[in-house]
Amino acid sequence: MRDSARRGVVPAAASALMLLLLGGVAAAPNPKLNNVELCNGADRTSPDPQIEGCTALIESGKETPKTLAIAYNNRGNAYTGKGEYDRAIQDYDQSIKLNPNHARAFNNRGVAYQKKGEYDRAIKDFDESIKLNPNNASAIFNRAEAYLNKGEYQRAVRDFDEAIRLKPTSDTVWNGRCWTRAIVGELQAALADCNEALRLQPGVAATLDSRGFTYLKMGEWDSAIDDYSSALQRDPRLASSLYGRGLAKLKKGDITGGNADVAAATKIDSKIVEDFVHYGVQ
């Protein structure tokens, strides 16, 4: 089930533009400070204020190349948040042109390519980001997701291993490895990973979905139904949980309930049956 869509790719945080621009500035009101704050994402109501603040800085003609690199990166993040990936990539291109060692811009451009389904280009950018910052857990996690979407599961697991080593308190990373291990049939290891993710962050729909999938492949129908139902309480339109629960119900002989869940899942995601077949479940 196109995994980045199922869980969401995790981009690195925006660069701390305020730290670069505000040092030693008086506290008196200043229009420039407002643009800096906006470009740094101070207004979270929508991506548009960040775009406006960054654009004002870029077009001012007064900023240094280092500042402009950050502003382009941050505006790219805002465009990514709006789903305007081509515009985001153009901004990341400018950021990298101004600062070829900007690891976050490479990572964030990789995220935009990942969102477009251009996994090879995404991996190339994640490789460069990791080369510039080998301890960048976000880029390693994102590369794992790209390998996962390409079906290169063992390479994905290796990256999840490294991301967990660097950031062992991230439930998202543990869940990513759980999901990948479940796909390849390492079910006990997958279950342990999902349990750790839920210990770190209880009640996350995506993790409950992953553990439900693991139980489904283990043939533990009741446990699968319980986890899928819990996931659906939090996200009623999670197609993978609806479909997985439907399959588990059918395995238990609940034809009416199973068919209803399967029909609801395919209405949300027409490719869900194909995805589960690909993962060895039908």
Architecture label for domain 203-282: Alpha Horseshoe (1.25)
Mean pLDDT of the 42-61 span: 91
What's residue 3's pLDDT? 53
* Range list for CATH 1.25.40.10 in the chain: 1-10+31-133, 203-282
The class level of CATH for 1-10+31-133 reads mainly alpha
Residue matched to tokens 């794992």: 144
pTM for this prediction: 0.84
Pure H helices in 151-282 = 153-166, 171-184, 187-200, 205-218, 221-234, 239-251, 255-268, 272-278
CB-CB contact of 30 with 22 (8 Å): no
Q: What is the pLDDT of residues 148-162, one digit of tens each?
A: 999 999 999 999 999
What's residue 238's pLDDT? 97
Q: What is the pLDDT of residues 106-164, one digit of tens each?
A: 999 999 999 999 999 999 999 999 999 999 999 999 999 999 999 999 999 999 999 99
Is the pLDDT reported for residue 11 higher than 80?
no
The percent helix, strand, coil of the chain (3-state, each to 5) is 75, 0, 25
Q: What is the pLDDT of residues 262-275, one digit of tens each?
A: 999 999 999 999 99
* CA atoms of 81 and 108, how far apart (whole Å): 11
What's residue 32's pLDDT? 52
Q: What is the pLDDT of residues 185-220, one digit of tens each?
A: 999 999 999 999 999 999 999 999 999 999 999 999
The single-letter DSSP state of residue 13 is P
